[in-house]
């Protein structure tokens, strides 16, 4: 009976460790986005997502890995890379529920110019993740610039509430 | 005897896992502040603190949850929210000692305007936490803008020293 | 036999916990740099490195703890501290391999002036660490400002690739 107790303790502990490892895996996905975007690496960027992953910026969705691959390879993005851009992700608040997870964070894009660095975009993000056979992947990132409107607040409010809501209106 | 050894090993491991979980809980409090402030959500903001929690900005203290609740609901703060503000916390260096913890980090406030984004405040922070029946809560946050004076340096120096000191003067 | 299985399970779990603790130790080194630099604390800054540690900024190396000690104490650095500077590190993507580790992150330097805060530098970093008798220490940090050139991209690309490569050229 003692050894049963012990193996139950170890199993419970293993689950807690798994949860901490899942968090670390998800940090890697979120922070990997910056390096992929700022090196203009389409393959690395698309590889963070599931095949059916969606990247939705200001309500406009890119659907599927290949759409994300193409966006990173586009002249617009490659031109930012040549100018010098830094898509700096903030640390995410992550919630894991089995094989699914969500996270909320801030991100900023700094742009280089001859006059120095400017803050081009400051953005609120909701992320959704799924555990796949290859590990955690992003299934959806909804992003909106923080411009005083309700869309970014709705994304940030998911740090505290399951359902999107605008705590101000 | 072997099973005693094993259960001691498991207990020691459980303590180490607890410490890692405590760290993650504290990250959530620190990063929750941004989302609470930028959605103007008084209840979420106050809920991060203990009842007797203190938020001290540039030496001026707000004492107790209700003072923090009122500050977030004030016209000044709500006006920042409508303008578009991002209270972005930096990753904290956390020290846990049983049911108490401290942390040091940077924070920045970005403000939106028609011309783009400006960096309004860059701040050094000391945080203190207590484990309560409802989980970890903030008992004190001392914040000071980084303006070349000794106050912010004193806060940052606690990353390395228990007692506040000014390593420059 | 069951108890052998159990002790193997516990040993495997202990290794996983160790890895998570190693990550947390490395976060502390990376984020400690900011506090050391911004308080102008030569001893704290040098103490993050091994004796033979190298700090290489824009290809120009400072070799050894004492070189880093001297740099922080230099009039140039102390003048930044008196002006008000914030060397804010971004969260690192860390890879641990036994007693060695590497990490990639962004960093930014914000500078205070009478007109407010400016973004002085936005930098890509590769870090290397070694586990010593005194715990993890930095053996090398290679840093390059993000200016549109290949050097910063090469550093960022190590988030995804072991060998440095320029995914753009």
Shortest CA distance from A5: residue in chain C = C6
The answer to whether A134 and A111 are in contact (CB under 8 A) is no
Rg (CA), chain A: 18
Query: What is the pLDDT at residue B169?
Result: 35
Which of B24, B35, B111 would best serve as a mutation to test chain A binding (most A beta carbons within 10 A)? B35
Tens of pLDDT, residues C62-87: 999 999 999 999 999 999 999 999 99
Query: What is the pLDDT at residue B6?
Result: 81
Q: How confident is the model at residue C33 (pLDDT cuts 50, 70, 90)?
A: very high
Q: Tell me which residue has tokens 């590190």.
A: C89
Shortest CA distance from A87: residue in chain C = C106
Residues 6+ apart with CB under 8 A from C44: B159, B160, B167, C32, C35, C36
C1 pLDDT higher than 90: no
Question: Rounded to a whole number, what is the distance in Å from the CA of C66 to chain A's nearest CA?
Answer: 31
Question: Rounded to a whole number, what is the distance in Å from the CA of B107 to chain C's nearest CA?
Answer: 9
Using a CB-CB cut-off of 8 Å, the residues of chain A touching C149 are 84
ipTM for the predicted complex comes to 0.93
Using a CB-CB cut-off of 8 Å, the residues of chain C touching B2 are 3, 7
Find the mean pLDDT for residues A103-124: 98
Q: How confident is the model at residue B145 (pLDDT cuts 50, 70, 90)?
A: very high
Inspect the interface and report whether the beta carbons of B160 and C88 lie closer than 8 Å: no
- Residue C100, beta-bridge partner list: C97, C130
B120 pLDDT higher than 50: yes
A112 pLDDT higher than 60: yes
Percent of chain B's residues with pLDDT above 90: 90
Residues 6+ apart with CB under 8 A from C150: C166, C168, C169
Collapsed DSSP state (helix, strand, coil) of residue B100: strand
Tens of pLDDT, residues A30-72: 999 999 999 999 999 999 999 999 999 999 999 999 999 999 9
Find the mean pLDDT for residues C11-24: 97
B157 pLDDT higher than 50: yes
Query: What is the pLDDT at residue C42?
Result: 98
Q: Taking Cα atoms as reference points, which of B83, B75, B92 lies closest to residue B33?
A: B92
Inspect the interface and report whether the beta carbons of B159 and C38 lie closer than 8 Å: no
Inspect the interface and report whether the beta carbons of B90 and C6 lie closer than 8 Å: no
Work out the number of other CB atoms within 10 angstroms of the CB of residue B8: 10
Inspect the interface and report whether the beta carbons of B156 and C119 lie closer than 8 Å: no
Q: How confident is the model at residue A6 (pLDDT cuts 50, 70, 90)?
A: confident
Using a CB-CB cut-off of 8 Å, the residues of chain B touching C78 are 168
Residues 6+ apart with CB under 8 A from C34: B90, B106, B156, C86, C87, C88, C89, C107
Query: What is the pLDDT at residue B168?
Result: 37
Mean residue pLDDT across chain A: 94
Q: In this structure, what token pair is assigned to residue A85?
A: 């851009």
Shortest CA distance from B45: residue in chain A = A160
Tens of pLDDT, residues B71-103: 999 999 999 999 999 999 999 999 999 999 999
A165 pLDDT higher than 70: no
Q: How many Cα atoms occupy the beta-carbon half-sphere of B162 within 13 Å?
A: 3
Q: How confident is the model at residue C39 (pLDDT cuts 50, 70, 90)?
A: very high
Q: Which helix (H) or strand (E) holds C160?
A: none
Q: How confident is the model at residue A168 (pLDDT cuts 50, 70, 90)?
A: very low
Inspect the interface and report whether the beta carbons of B39 and A157 lie closer than 8 Å: yes
Shortest CA distance from C28: residue in chain B = B93
CA dihedral B53, B56, B62, B67 (to 10 degrees): -60
Please say whether the dihedral angle defined by the alpha carbons of residues C133, C136, C142 and C143, taken in this order, is positive or negative.
negative
B165 pLDDT higher than 80: no
Using a CB-CB cut-off of 8 Å, the residues of chain C touching B146 are 38, 84-86, 110, 112
Find the mean pLDDT for residues A106-131: 98
Apex A99 CA angle, A93 and A103, nearest 5? 15
CA dihedral A99, A103, A108, A109 (to 10 degrees): 20
Inspect the interface and report whether the beta carbons of C40 and B167 lie closer than 8 Å: yes
Tens of pLDDT, residues C118-155: 999 999 999 999 999 999 999 999 999 999 999 999 99
Angle between helix axes C75-83 and C65-73 (nearest 10 degrees) is 50
Shortest CA distance from C109: residue in chain A = A117
Q: Where is pLDDT greater, at B19 or C165?
A: B19
A94 pLDDT higher than 50: yes
Query: What is the pLDDT at residue A41?
Result: 98
Q: How confident is the model at residue B47 (pLDDT cuts 50, 70, 90)?
A: very high
Query: What is the pLDDT at residue C6?
Result: 81
Query: What is the pLDDT at residue A167?
Result: 43
Inspect the interface and report whether the beta carbons of B38 and A168 lie closer than 8 Å: no
Find the mean pLDDT for residues A131-150: 98
Phi and psi angles of residue B131, each rounded to the nearest 5 degrees, phi first: -80, 120
CA dist., res. A69 & res. C105, Å (int): 23
| Closest residue to A34, CB basis, from C13, C106, C120 | C106
Using a CB-CB cut-off of 8 Å, the residues of chain C touching A81 are 148, 153, 168
Chains that touch B (3 or more CB pairs under 8 A): A, C
CA dist., res. A92 & res. A121, Å (int): 18
Q: Which helix (H) or strand (E) holds B148?
A: none
CA dist., res. C161 & res. C165, Å (int): 8
Query: What is the pLDDT at residue A163?
Result: 57
Chain A residues whose C-beta sits inside 8 Å of any chain B C-beta: 2-3, 6, 9-10, 13, 16-17, 20, 23, 90-93, 104-106, 108, 118-122, 124, 145-149, 152-153, 156-157, 159-160, 167-168
Q: In this structure, what token pair is assigned to residue C83?
A: 């002006």
């Amino acid at each position: 009976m003692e050894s049963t107790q012990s193996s139950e303790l170890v199993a419970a502990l293993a689950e807690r460790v798994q949860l901490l490892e899942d968090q670390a895996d998800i940090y890697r996905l979120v922070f990997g986005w910056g390096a992929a975007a700022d090196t203009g690496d389409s393959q690395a960027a698309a590889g963070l997502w599931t095949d059916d992953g969606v990247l939705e910026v200001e309500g406009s969705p890119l659907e599927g890995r290949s759409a994300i691959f193409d966006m990173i390879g586009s002249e617009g993005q490659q031109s930012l890379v040549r100018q010098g851009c830094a898509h700096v992700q903030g640390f995410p608040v992550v919630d894991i529920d089995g094989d699914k997870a969500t996270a909320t964070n801030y991100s900023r894009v700094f742009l280089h110019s001859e006059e120095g660095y400017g803050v081009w975009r400051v953005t609120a993000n909701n992320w959704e993740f799924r555990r796949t056979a290859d590990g955690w992947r992003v299934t959806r990132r909804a992003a909106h610039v923080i411009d005083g409107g309700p869309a970014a607040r709705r994304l940030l409010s998911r740090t505290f509430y399951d359902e999107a809501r605008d705590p101000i209106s």
